[in-house]
Protein backbone atom coordinates (compact mmCIF):
# COMPACT_ATOMS: atom_id res chain seq x y z
CA UNK A 1 0.00 0.00 0.00
CA UNK A 2 1.21 3.50 -0.82
CA UNK A 3 2.24 5.73 2.08
CA UNK A 4 0.58 8.72 0.37
CA UNK A 5 -2.02 8.52 -2.36
CA UNK A 6 -3.63 11.31 -4.37
CA UNK A 7 -6.73 10.46 -6.43
CA UNK A 8 -8.35 12.63 -9.11
CA UNK A 9 -7.15 15.83 -7.41
CA UNK A 10 -8.57 19.09 -8.73
CA UNK A 11 -7.82 22.66 -7.68
CA UNK A 12 -9.50 25.47 -9.58
CA UNK A 13 -9.20 29.24 -9.34
CA UNK A 14 -12.21 30.65 -11.16
CA UNK A 15 -12.01 29.03 -14.57
CA UNK A 16 -8.33 28.09 -14.23
CA UNK A 17 -7.53 24.44 -13.49
CA UNK A 18 -4.29 24.70 -11.50
CA UNK A 19 -4.40 20.94 -10.85
CA UNK A 20 -6.68 18.97 -13.12
CA UNK A 21 -7.63 15.39 -12.26
CA UNK A 22 -4.22 14.32 -10.98
CA UNK A 23 -3.62 10.89 -9.47
CA UNK A 24 -0.30 9.67 -8.09
CA UNK A 25 1.17 7.83 -5.12
CA UNK A 26 4.31 7.82 -3.01
CA UNK A 27 5.79 4.64 -1.56
CA UNK A 28 7.37 4.50 1.87
CA UNK A 29 11.10 5.17 1.70
CA UNK A 30 11.02 6.89 -1.69
CA UNK A 31 12.56 10.13 -2.79
CA UNK A 32 9.98 11.34 -5.30
CA UNK A 33 10.54 14.37 -7.48
CA UNK A 34 7.87 16.58 -9.02
CA UNK A 35 8.92 18.60 -12.05
CA UNK A 36 7.32 20.70 -14.75
CA UNK A 37 7.52 24.16 -16.29
CA UNK A 38 6.39 27.26 -14.42
CA UNK A 39 2.63 27.17 -13.96
CA UNK A 40 2.49 23.37 -14.15
CA UNK A 41 0.80 23.14 -10.73
CA UNK A 42 3.70 21.81 -8.66
CA UNK A 43 3.41 24.17 -5.70
CA UNK A 44 -0.41 24.05 -5.84
CA UNK A 45 -0.17 20.26 -5.53
CA UNK A 46 2.21 20.63 -2.58
CA UNK A 47 -0.11 23.10 -0.88
CA UNK A 48 -3.10 20.82 -1.43
CA UNK A 49 -1.31 17.84 0.13
CA UNK A 50 -0.15 19.94 3.09
CA UNK A 51 -3.63 21.39 3.66
CA UNK A 52 -2.81 24.99 2.77
CA UNK A 53 -4.83 24.92 -0.45
CA UNK A 54 -8.46 23.77 -0.45
CA UNK A 55 -9.38 21.09 -2.97
CA UNK A 56 -12.08 21.50 -5.57
CA UNK A 57 -12.39 17.71 -5.82
CA UNK A 58 -10.46 14.53 -5.17
CA UNK A 59 -9.03 12.55 -2.28
CA UNK A 60 -5.74 12.43 -0.37
CA UNK A 61 -4.85 9.44 1.79
CA UNK A 62 -1.98 9.08 4.25
CA UNK A 63 -1.45 5.45 5.30
CA UNK A 64 -4.94 4.65 4.04
CA UNK A 65 -6.63 7.45 6.01
CA UNK A 66 -8.43 10.28 4.18
CA UNK A 67 -6.86 13.60 5.20
CA UNK A 68 -8.25 16.16 2.73
CA UNK A 69 -10.67 17.54 5.35
CA UNK A 70 -7.92 18.00 7.96
CA UNK A 71 -6.24 21.31 8.72
CA UNK A 72 -2.47 21.74 8.16
CA UNK A 73 -1.52 21.27 11.84
CA UNK A 74 -3.58 18.08 11.98
CA UNK A 75 -1.79 16.71 8.94
CA UNK A 76 1.52 17.68 10.53
CA UNK A 77 0.63 15.61 13.59
CA UNK A 78 -0.04 12.64 11.31
CA UNK A 79 3.43 12.91 9.82
CA UNK A 80 3.49 15.51 7.01
CA UNK A 81 6.14 18.25 7.17
CA UNK A 82 7.11 20.74 4.50
CA UNK A 83 9.41 23.61 3.66
CA UNK A 84 8.63 26.59 1.42
CA UNK A 85 10.26 28.23 -1.60
CA UNK A 86 10.89 31.38 0.42
CA UNK A 87 12.81 31.12 3.67
CA UNK A 88 10.63 31.09 6.78
CA UNK A 89 13.35 31.35 9.44
CA UNK A 90 13.48 33.92 12.25
CA UNK A 91 16.87 35.68 11.96
CA UNK A 92 16.76 37.19 15.46
CA UNK A 93 16.21 33.80 17.14
CA UNK A 94 19.00 31.31 17.75
CA UNK A 95 19.45 28.26 15.57
CA UNK A 96 18.11 25.97 18.28
CA UNK A 97 15.08 28.21 18.88
CA UNK A 98 14.27 28.14 15.16
CA UNK A 99 14.38 24.35 15.12
CA UNK A 100 12.38 24.07 18.35
CA UNK A 101 9.47 25.78 16.59
CA UNK A 102 9.19 22.74 14.37
CA UNK A 103 8.77 20.41 17.36
CA UNK A 104 5.50 21.92 18.52
CA UNK A 105 3.04 19.99 16.27
CA UNK A 106 4.00 16.94 18.37
CA UNK A 107 4.23 18.71 21.72
CA UNK A 108 2.80 16.76 24.66
CA UNK A 109 1.68 19.79 26.66
CA UNK A 110 -1.01 22.34 25.86
CA UNK A 111 -0.86 26.13 25.78
CA UNK A 112 -2.04 26.75 29.35
CA UNK A 113 0.19 24.04 30.82
CA UNK A 114 3.16 25.67 29.13
CA UNK A 115 2.10 29.13 30.31
CA UNK A 116 1.83 27.93 33.92
CA UNK A 117 5.34 26.48 33.78
CA UNK A 118 4.42 23.18 35.40
CA UNK A 119 6.99 20.44 35.96
CA UNK A 120 5.54 18.57 33.00
CA UNK A 121 5.87 21.64 30.79
CA UNK A 122 9.50 22.10 31.80
CA UNK A 123 10.25 18.45 31.01
CA UNK A 124 8.59 18.84 27.64
CA UNK A 125 10.61 21.98 26.89
CA UNK A 126 13.83 20.10 27.69
CA UNK A 127 12.74 17.24 25.42
CA UNK A 128 12.01 19.66 22.57
CA UNK A 129 15.35 21.42 23.02
CA UNK A 130 17.19 18.08 22.97
CA UNK A 131 15.38 17.10 19.75
CA UNK A 132 16.32 20.43 18.17
CA UNK A 133 19.96 19.98 19.17
CA UNK A 134 19.98 16.51 17.61
CA UNK A 135 18.77 17.95 14.30
CA UNK A 136 21.43 20.66 14.40
CA UNK A 137 24.06 18.00 15.06
CA UNK A 138 22.96 16.29 11.83
CA UNK A 139 23.88 19.51 10.02
CA UNK A 140 27.19 19.90 11.81
CA UNK A 141 25.86 23.08 13.43
CA UNK A 142 25.68 21.95 17.06
CA UNK A 143 28.51 24.30 18.03
CA UNK A 144 26.50 27.26 16.71
CA UNK A 145 23.18 26.32 18.32
CA UNK A 146 22.90 29.51 20.38
CA UNK A 147 23.96 31.93 17.64
CA UNK A 148 21.36 34.05 15.77
CA UNK A 149 20.04 32.42 12.61
CA UNK A 150 20.64 35.71 10.83
CA UNK A 151 24.38 34.89 10.84
CA UNK A 152 23.91 31.94 8.47
CA UNK A 153 24.60 31.93 4.75
CA UNK A 154 21.65 31.37 2.42
CA UNK A 155 22.50 27.71 1.90
CA UNK A 156 22.90 27.16 5.65
CA UNK A 157 19.54 28.85 6.20
CA UNK A 158 17.94 26.36 3.80
CA UNK A 159 19.48 23.53 5.82
CA UNK A 160 18.15 25.08 9.02
CA UNK A 161 14.66 25.15 7.55
CA UNK A 162 14.93 21.45 6.67
CA UNK A 163 16.12 20.71 10.22
CA UNK A 164 13.09 22.54 11.61
CA UNK A 165 10.74 20.46 9.45
CA UNK A 166 12.50 17.30 10.65
CA UNK A 167 12.06 18.31 14.29
CA UNK A 168 8.43 17.17 14.07
CA UNK A 169 9.72 13.63 13.28
CA UNK A 170 7.68 13.38 10.05
CA UNK A 171 6.93 10.32 7.99
CA UNK A 172 7.00 12.44 4.82
CA UNK A 173 9.22 15.47 4.27
CA UNK A 174 8.01 17.78 1.50
CA UNK A 175 10.69 20.10 0.11
CA UNK A 176 9.63 22.97 -2.15
CA UNK A 177 12.66 23.98 -4.26
CA UNK A 178 15.31 23.25 -1.59
CA UNK A 179 18.22 24.68 -3.60
CA UNK A 180 16.43 27.58 -5.31
CA UNK A 181 18.71 30.61 -5.11
CA UNK A 182 21.44 28.65 -3.33
CA UNK A 183 24.98 29.21 -4.71
CA UNK A 184 26.45 26.16 -6.46
CA UNK A 185 29.11 25.90 -3.74
CA UNK A 186 26.41 25.34 -1.08
CA UNK A 187 24.14 22.92 -2.94
CA UNK A 188 26.02 19.67 -2.21
CA UNK A 189 25.43 19.78 1.59
CA UNK A 190 21.68 20.12 0.97
CA UNK A 191 21.64 17.10 -1.35
CA UNK A 192 23.70 15.16 1.20
CA UNK A 193 21.25 16.10 3.95
CA UNK A 194 18.30 14.87 1.87
CA UNK A 195 20.03 11.52 1.25
CA UNK A 196 20.86 11.20 4.94
CA UNK A 197 17.30 11.94 6.01
CA UNK A 198 15.93 9.41 3.54
CA UNK A 199 18.44 6.78 4.69
CA UNK A 200 17.04 7.22 8.21
CA UNK A 201 13.57 6.21 7.00
CA UNK A 202 11.92 9.50 6.07
CA UNK A 203 10.07 9.52 2.76
CA UNK A 204 10.88 12.64 0.71
CA UNK A 205 8.86 14.49 -1.92
CA UNK A 206 10.59 17.38 -3.61
CA UNK A 207 9.80 20.04 -6.16
CA UNK A 208 12.97 21.31 -7.79
CA UNK A 209 13.98 22.99 -11.06
CA UNK A 210 17.61 21.85 -10.89
CA UNK A 211 17.45 18.77 -13.09
CA UNK A 212 20.89 17.52 -12.13
CA UNK A 213 19.77 17.34 -8.50
CA UNK A 214 16.41 15.73 -9.35
CA UNK A 215 17.97 13.09 -11.59
CA UNK A 216 20.69 12.35 -9.04
CA UNK A 217 18.48 12.12 -5.96
CA UNK A 218 15.08 10.76 -6.94
CA UNK A 219 13.89 7.17 -7.24
CA UNK A 220 10.82 8.28 -9.20
CA UNK A 221 9.78 11.49 -10.92
CA UNK A 222 6.30 12.88 -11.64
CA UNK A 223 6.05 15.35 -14.52
CA UNK A 224 3.21 17.88 -14.64
CA UNK A 225 2.10 20.09 -17.50
CA UNK A 226 -0.66 22.69 -17.16
CA UNK A 227 -1.89 21.03 -13.97
CA UNK A 228 -2.16 17.60 -15.56
CA UNK A 229 -0.23 14.34 -15.41
CA UNK A 230 2.29 14.09 -18.24
CA UNK A 231 4.56 11.23 -17.19
CA UNK A 232 5.89 9.27 -14.24
CA UNK A 233 8.86 6.95 -13.92
CA UNK A 234 12.48 6.48 -12.97
CA UNK A 235 14.99 9.24 -13.82
CA UNK A 236 16.19 7.18 -16.80
CA UNK A 237 12.64 6.71 -18.08
CA UNK A 238 11.82 10.41 -17.71
CA UNK A 239 15.06 11.52 -19.36
CA UNK A 240 14.20 9.48 -22.45
CA UNK A 241 10.44 10.19 -22.51
CA UNK A 242 9.62 11.87 -25.83
CA UNK A 243 6.69 13.96 -24.56
CA UNK A 244 8.63 15.14 -21.53
CA UNK A 245 11.62 16.12 -23.65
CA UNK A 246 9.37 18.00 -26.04
CA UNK A 247 7.37 19.77 -23.35
CA UNK A 248 10.00 20.52 -20.75
CA UNK A 249 13.42 18.92 -20.61
CA UNK A 250 14.65 19.50 -24.14
CA UNK A 251 18.34 19.20 -24.79
CA UNK A 252 19.22 20.28 -21.23
CA UNK A 253 18.59 16.85 -19.72
CA UNK A 254 20.30 15.01 -22.52
CA UNK A 255 23.43 17.02 -21.72
CA UNK A 256 23.07 16.81 -17.90
Q: List, for residues 63-79, the tens digit of each pLDDT value.
A: 999 999 999 999 999 99
**DSSP classification of residue 185:** G
pLDDT: which is higher, 180 or 85? 180
pLDDT at 109 (0 to 100): 45
Mean pLDDT of 53-63: 96
| Structural domain count, the chain | 1
Task: Give a yes or no: residue 179 inside a domain.
Answer: yes
Identify the band that residue 121 occupies on the pLDDT scale cut at 50, 70 and 90.
Answer: low
Do the domain assignments include residue 235? yes
Q: Is residue 121 part of a domain?
A: no
Pairing of strands 203-207, 31-35: parallel
pTM score of the predicted model: 0.87
Cα-based torsion angle of the residue sequence 149, 152, 156, 160 in order, rounded to the nearest 10 degrees: 0
Residue 62 pLDDT greater than 90, yes or no: yes
**Confidence check: pLDDT of 168 > 80:** yes
Whether 139 is in a domain gets the answer no
Instruction: Tell me: pLDDT of 117 over 60.
Output: no
pLDDT at residue 115 above 60?
no
* Residue 97 maps to a domain: no
Residue 195 to residues 35, 185, 208, 218, 221, Cα–Cα distance (Å): 19, 18, 15, 10, 16
User: Can you give the residue range of the structural domain that contains 211?
Assistant: 2-92+163-253
The answer to whether residue 247 sits within a structural domain is yes
> Does residue 174 belong to any structural domain of this protein?
yes
In angstroms, the CA 236 to CA 243 distance is 14
CATH number of residue 197's parent domain: 3.40.50.300
Query: What distance in Å separates the CA atoms of residue 130 and residue 124, rounded to the nearest whole number?
Result: 10
Amino acid sequence: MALLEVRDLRVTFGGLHAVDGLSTSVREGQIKGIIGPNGAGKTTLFNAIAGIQKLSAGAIELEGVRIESLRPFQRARLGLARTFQNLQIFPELSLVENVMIGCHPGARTGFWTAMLGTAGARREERRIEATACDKLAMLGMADRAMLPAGNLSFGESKLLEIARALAAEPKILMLDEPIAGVPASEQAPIAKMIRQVNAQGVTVILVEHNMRMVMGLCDEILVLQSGRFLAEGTPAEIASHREVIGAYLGEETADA
